[in-house]
Chains A and B, each alone.
Chain A
Amino acid sequence: MHTLRTLFLLHTGERLCRQRDPLWGRSSAVLLLRWLLTAVYAVSLLTLVRSLAGDVSSGLIALKPWSAVLLFLIPDFWLRFLFQQSPVLRTGACALMSVPRSLLVHHFLLQSVFAPYNLFWLLCFFWPLGLLCVVPVLSWTGLALWIVLSACLVSCSALFYQMMRLLSGCRFRWVFAVAGVHVVLLFAAVLWGEGFDAVPALPLWLVAAAFAAVAVVYAIVFRVLYNFREEPSSRREHSSAESFLAHIPLLSLEWLLRWRNRRVRTSQLSILCLMAMLCLAQFGEADADGVMTSFTCLYCFAVPVMLMLVDVMSHEGNYVEALLMERGSVERLLRAKYLFNVLFLLLPLLMLMPAVTQGRVHLLQCLAYMLFTAGVIFPLLFLRAPYNASARALHRQRRVRASLSYAHGFIATLVLSLPIAMERGARWLLGDVWGCAALMLLGVAGVASHRLWLGYVARRFMLRRHALAEGFRATRQL
């Protein structure tokens, strides 16, 4: 009885926590968007399957094992990682409760298995897939077995996801490990699998094996979570870069902000991975009309800086009062931040060099995007500095109120569309060379005048310093 009551209290507490979550709980628009995107993704996957499967009446469609892995587990994992909110298990707080740790972990895992998100994913994708692929061949009996199989598969995926979510909270390298495994599986499937074949049957032993798999995965995940202890981060040794930058205090601060704070470091690493993948993608099929190359340049130059700077000064909101106590520090910080990000633009340029040498990407195009980003995109993003009044968490997984303002959306849309629109327009009007030259000129003008517009941004920031400080203070206390 006590156990049941404890479980009920835990469940109630977590439900309240989710309802009051400043990011997911209060913004019904964000919640609706989340479910909508999941449904759209499921429909697009189904459409893909349908187009690949061909004629249903000819009795085909079932998936070879490798294809099953690709189609079910990989998208399922990443969809959960991007969209599914993890049930709360704060071991620190729960450790004070007079309940056995094993009970907490069982509760957590069972919540994961029976989460509404799993049912939604089954209803949106797996069961329609069964209607599409299984019923024509195996009739409704096969569908019943398919429903059970898919539920077991989704349960395994949910458990695996929770384990990865918890482990990635302390070491983001776990997510990269999973991504690496998925890339290997993808390559293997491309090499070996042909995707679809006539399905013979769905034998009962397969269903029994599925249940056994769920039990095995459950046991493994339980053991990992039961023994999980979050380790505090330890003192970092000074790298040579830190020593080099130590004599430039604000540049050094920007560097340390990127690499000593878990959330910022994670964003940085994700951006670098994205850039690397896009640079590798240039070695695929040749891009006849250059649109893909333009998108690659956009995603290598403009999008990373947008992701880092769309909330410019929000990280500094955690210690803005230390900065405000020093005269002129805000302008100097903005200047250091600009210089740092301009130097950061050399990185995608270097990463694209192999593609340039192979003739996949034009050097002028890369330089045009780089300079245009430095001279035009940066001012657009820095203009947000006097208006970002939400402090973003640096290190811990602390939620802040979603800053889904129209200004954010407008700036993001502008950053994503302006470089490509300008580049394509300039090249259409002036030709390839002069078009790129025009963009470079605009960029150089922006870079050369950076003191002017940075000074303006700093003045606007100081004029609004009180409102910003109060906003940072309010969001820090969340």
Chain B
Amino acid sequence: MDITISNLRKTYGTVTAVDVPHFTVEGGQLLGLVGNNGAGKTTLFRLLLDLVAADAGTVSVAGIDVSRSESWKAFTGAFLDESFLIDYLTPSEFFRFLWRLSGASDDSLAAGLTMCAPLLEGVPDVLIRELSAGNRQKVGLAAAFLRSPELVVLDEPFTFLDPSSQHVLKTFLSDYIAQHPAAIILLSSHDLHHVSDVSSRIALMERGSIVRSFDASEDALSALESYFAAR
């Protein structure tokens, strides 16, 4: 299981949103993507999930070109923003809908919900549009991990979460990678502390390009802070 990006390019008018000549993510990695606003993190994730058409280049997940086949969706989970939620369902209905849509039986749904239970702490079972922003975030995150996918893409997952929930999410992500050694988790965040805490690898993005990529270490946070302080 790996992700390979080759000559990927996306422009909006005269602005280059993404320009990545070559990048690879191996299985078992939790990649933290950091960058300033407008760096292209979300656009890169959308290209990876085939929600945006690339102007050039390819993205392959486990050898499957994401723009030419849908088979990679069977082992992919994602939560980018609220357009991934169906807000007139309750969380339980939403999870059941996703579960059945994937063709899985209801018997195994309980196991998936048990795994995601830490993320859903304190979320009431009312219509999703009636939930607070933080609870909607929790529902989206739980939905991304519900079927224990091998690839998970999360855009700003710590947004709207209270400090306790942020800690729970960090623990969950670490445990998930430990229990699924071949899985890949991609997440982006503006919070350098969170990224340096959970990631096994960190990539810096600026003006659409990945300018640096290094394995996370004890010095990662200071390296990131000094990098962005210089900007």
Interface of A toward B, CB cutoff 8 Å: 232-236, 246-247, 249-250, 252-253, 256-257, 260-261, 318-322, 324-329, 332, 394-395, 465-467, 469-470, 472-473, 476
Do B88 and A394 touch (CB < 8 A)?
A: yes
Do B86 and A249 touch (CB < 8 A)?
A: no
Do B83 and A235 touch (CB < 8 A)?
A: no
Q: Name the A residues within 8 Å of B83 (CB-CB).
A: 318-322, 472-473, 476
> How many residues of chain B are within 8 Å of chain A by beta carbon?
33
Q: Are A260 and B51 CB-contacts (below 8 A) given A253-B86, A394-B87?
A: no
Verify if B178 is at the interface (C-beta below 8 Å from A): no
Cβ-closest chain A residue relative to B97: A249
Q: Name the A residues within 8 Å of B24 (CB-CB).
A: none
Contact pattern, B 57-88, Cβ under 8 Å of A = 1, otherwise 0: 00000000000001101101110100111111
Contact pattern, B 153-173, Cβ under 8 Å of A = 1, otherwise 0: 000000000000000000000
Q: Name the A residues within 8 Å of B70 (CB-CB).
A: 327-328
Verify if B203 is at the interface (C-beta below 8 Å from A): no
Q: Name the B residues within 8 Å of A326 (CB-CB).
A: 73, 98, 101-102
Do A322 and B127 touch (CB < 8 A)?
A: no
Verify if B223 is at the interface (C-beta below 8 Å from A): no
Q: Are A232 and B130 CB-contacts (below 8 A) given A321-B51, A326-B102?
A: yes
Q: Name the B residues within 8 Å of A236 (CB-CB).
A: 127
Cβ-closest chain A residue relative to B51: A469
Cα(A253)–Cα(B130), bound, Å: 18
Cβ-closest chain B residue relative to A322: B84
Beyond A249-B100, A394-B88, 15 additional contacts (C-beta under 8 Å) are A235-B125, A235-B127, A235-B130, A250-B101, A261-B88, A318-B83, A319-B85, A321-B84, A324-B50, A326-B73, A327-B73, A332-B101, A395-B129, A469-B52, A473-B83
Q: Name the A residues within 8 Å of B101 (CB-CB).
A: 249-250, 326, 329, 332
**Separation in Å of the A233 CB from the closest CB of chain B?**
7
Q: Name the A residues within 8 Å of B86 (CB-CB).
A: 253, 319, 322
Cβ-closest chain A residue relative to B124: A235
Cα(A472)–Cα(B84), bound, Å: 13
Do B80 and A260 touch (CB < 8 A)?
A: no
Cα(A234)–Cα(B131), bound, Å: 11
Q: Name the A residues within 8 Å of B80 (CB-CB).
A: 321
Verify if B89 is at the interface (C-beta below 8 Å from A): yes
Cα(A111)–Cα(B62), bound, Å: 62
Cα(A467)–Cα(B52), bound, Å: 8
Q: Name the B residues within 8 Å of A467 (CB-CB).
A: 53
Q: Which of A257, A325, A332 contacts B78 (CB 8 A)?
A: A325
Q: Name the A residues within 8 Å of B125 (CB-CB).
A: 235
Q: Are A233 and B127 CB-contacts (below 8 A) given A319-B84, A327-B70?
A: yes
Q: Name the A residues within 8 Å of B90 (CB-CB).
A: 235
Q: Name the B residues within 8 Å of A235 (CB-CB).
A: 90, 125-127, 130
Q: Name the B residues within 8 Å of A321 (CB-CB).
A: 51, 80, 83-84
**Separation in Å of the A201 CB from the closest CB of chain B?**
59
